[in-house]
Amino acid sequence: MRTAITLFICCGLICFSTYGQLKSYKRGLASFENGHYNLAIREFSKVTELDPLYQADLLKKTGDAFRLTNRWAESIPYYEKVLALPNPASEIYYYLGYAHKSKGEYQKAKEYFSAFARTNPSDRVLAEKVQRELNALLLTESLFQKNSEKDFKNLEGVNTSGSEFTGAIFNGHLVFTASRKTKIYSNDLPFLGIYKAKITDGKVGQTELFSSSIFADDRNEGSPAFSPDGKMMVFARGNSGKRKDLSPDVDLYMSRYVSGTGWTEPTRITASDSLAYDGCPAFSSDGKTLYFSSNRAGGSGGLDIYRVNLDASGRFGNPVNMGKAINTAGDEMFPFVSTDGKLYFASDGHPGLGKLDLFRAVRTGGKITVENMGLPYNSSMDDFGYLEDEYGNEYFTSNRSGGKGDDDIYYYLAPEEPKEEVVVNVPEKEKKVVNYFLAGEIVSEGKLLDSATLYVFKLDGGMETEYVEPITVKQGQFGPIKLEEDEDYILLAEKPNYLTKRENFTMYGRSIPEVLLTKPVTDTTFHVSIPLESIFVGKTFRLENIYYDLDKADIRPDAAIELDKLVQILKDNPGLKIELGSHTDARASEIYNLRLSQRRAESAINYIVNKGISRERLEARGYGESELIIPNAKTEAEHQQNRRTEFKVIEINSKQD
């Protein structure tokens, strides 16, 4: 009997232990599926014995969780155990290759990458990435020989066991990003915020919050950039914690400095794409161009670097991709432009020593060459966020071994050079002249549009002043029109039964440097194409990016940006009377949705009226869920298609506002 009781107790303990470990496994699995990888690792670590049916998944998921939290080295033993099991997935070889590369074990990395290639993988994107890694490994020896031998030091007083990375030098302070907010990100980490510390000869003063005006305790905020005059700040905000990957909820925001008041409430900039990740902003040294990273549609692969011009009033133009000389199928991030015009950035697509390496782009003879910065800037880990100040001091961020925590900031103090007075006699030379012109076309549906009228205005202190007499555009083409350097222009094209269209054109940043001129007089013509859209009573136009908070009808700052565009359309088309319609998805009752959509339409109308448009030209109508684009919507993206704001033309006449 005693033996039976003992056996019963032991069996009970074993069953209880097995049940408890299965429970930890399932909790870890749930955390993993929700992107909470650190929590998943914590639960998985409690599992020491598990049914063989789940063992392979446990090992792979644990390795994946370490990999997705950028702890590649810790993923190695788990992936190696997966390889020892029957029929391992081919990507395990890739993960092991990348993990060994992050440790600087390049020969092992080559062996695993080569093994992956031998599996004849079906994933072409991953196969191409592995081939790029193999090609890069051939260059590692030459990159090790490229060493500036500068002594970069860990920035004491700023770095902690958390994450700190570079941002900008502003008013003698290093303004940086750090994981120090009290609220915790969904991955068991503090949210990122923007902080500052005074820097003097490498010595750091007290670290403090940059500004209470630019602080959302439940959002990640970082990567600050400042215009040269110090009056504008652009930074990245997003990632509420629902996703770990580069999800489309990171946007660029702008704040302006008002003397006596401080920094204004941030608003999303017009150049940011709400359906993409936009981050890592950086101004050019003259403040006329903003560079940033984005994974918006139409790029080269992952994150690409874009640039966008600013006009004299600080308004953003249309972003332009920097091209394939800079951007690869991988990620290009953290741009920085030095005072001499060199572009620095981080990339995992160009050949490098680690995951993210630092690169420098140099234009020579009209061709852009990208150079790996070599040692000690780069390591086998992530190196990014290069910047330098006016004294030649340099900073960058790395999670290389020997640091204080996750990402640390490193710095190098440039040696003081003895000042020597030099007198140079420069002979006078003949000044070269450039004449700038504008020419273009007015089109509709891809065809030249005859007999449209073009007005050209010059912006003077933000006011529009007529620059040339109205031009009747014959056969759809106009120009050349003489332009002046460093001026902003507005082109206004109109034609009966078409929506009047305005295009901004700036000469800021377009002047040709004199050093590139080869003739006494050079004529340069810029070309623009202005599309006009036909209008008729009943035609509907969709307004993009008009979003409302849940169950509310208040106009958010991001929606105000889009409504301001409609206000301008109404001002440019004074004979237009419209119905502004608001549509909901079908996830509440019909009567509730109808009332909510009506409130939202009326709220938008009130906003437009407050901007100077007559209420007589506007009608508000809430459609609720009566006109769904996707009747049986299931995904969030499909519901978003149904939630929309549109305006419909209900009258066209010559009446003025």
CATH number, domain containing residue 469: 2.60.40.10
Same domain, 370 and 459: no
Residues in the chain, pLDDT under 70: 1-21, 50-51, 183-188, 239-248, 364-366, 417-430, 460-468, 514-516, 545, 549-551, 654-657
Calpha distance 372→352 (Å, rounded) = 7
**Is residue 558 situated within a structural domain?**
yes
Question: Alpha-carbon dihedral of residues 201, 203, 204, 206, nearest 10 degrees?
Answer: -110
- How much is the pLDDT for 546? 78
Final residue before a domain boundary, out of 481, 501, 534:
534
Within a 10 A sphere around the Cβ of 390, how many other Cβ atoms?
7
Q: What is the CATH number of the domain that holds 625?
A: 3.30.1330.60
- How much is the pLDDT for 106? 87
Q: Strand (E) positions, 244-364?
A: 250-258, 262-263, 267-268, 278-283, 289-294, 304-309, 320-321, 332-337, 343-347, 357-364
Within a 10 A sphere around the Cβ of 225, how many other Cβ atoms?
25
- How much is the pLDDT for 259? 83
Q: How many residues does the chain have?
A: 657
636 DSSP 8-state letter: H
Final residue before a domain boundary, out of 91, 115, 145:
145
Token pair 């961020």 in the structure block, residue? 397
**Is residue 423 situated within a structural domain?**
no
- How much is the pLDDT for 332? 95
Same domain, 161 and 138: no
Same domain, 178 and 280: yes
Calpha distance 457→471 (Å, rounded) = 12
Considering its fold, how many domains does the chain have in total? Answer: 4
**Is residue 364 situated within a structural domain?**
yes
Q: Domain limits at 131?
A: 2-145
470 DSSP 8-state letter: -
Same domain, 454 and 587: no
Same domain, 455 and 565: no
Calpha distance 218→52 (Å, rounded) = 41
Pick from 557, 555, 558: nearest CA to 580: 555
Calpha distance 556→70 (Å, rounded) = 35
Within a 10 A sphere around the Cβ of 345, how many other Cβ atoms?
29
- How much is the pLDDT for 10? 41
Same domain, 163 and 241: yes
**Is residue 421 situated within a structural domain?**
no
- How much is the pLDDT for 188? 65
- How much is the pLDDT for 7? 40
In sequence order, which ranges of 138-220 are alpha helices (DSSP H)?
140-145
Show Cβ contacts of residue 199 under 8 Å, excluding neighbours closer than 6 positions. Answer: 169, 172, 173, 174, 205
Token pair 């996750």 in the structure block, residue? 406
Q: What is the CATH number of the domain that holds 334?
A: 2.115.10.20
Same domain, 361 and 383: yes
- How much is the pLDDT for 187? 60
Calpha distance 442→159 (Å, rounded) = 56
**Span between the terminal Cα atoms of the chain, in Å:** 100
Token pair 């997966």 in the structure block, residue? 82
**Is residue 657 situated within a structural domain?**
no
- How much is the pLDDT for 51? 67
- How much is the pLDDT for 467? 67
Which residue type does 459 have?
A: L
Calpha distance 353→145 (Å, rounded) = 12
**Is residue 92 situated within a structural domain?**
yes
**Is residue 23 situated within a structural domain?**
yes
Within a 10 A sphere around the Cβ of 154, how many other Cβ atoms?
15
Token pair 């966020």 in the structure block, residue? 385
Q: Strand (E) positions, 57-114?
A: none
**Is residue 79 situated within a structural domain?**
yes
- How much is the pLDDT for 557? 75
- How much is the pLDDT for 656? 45
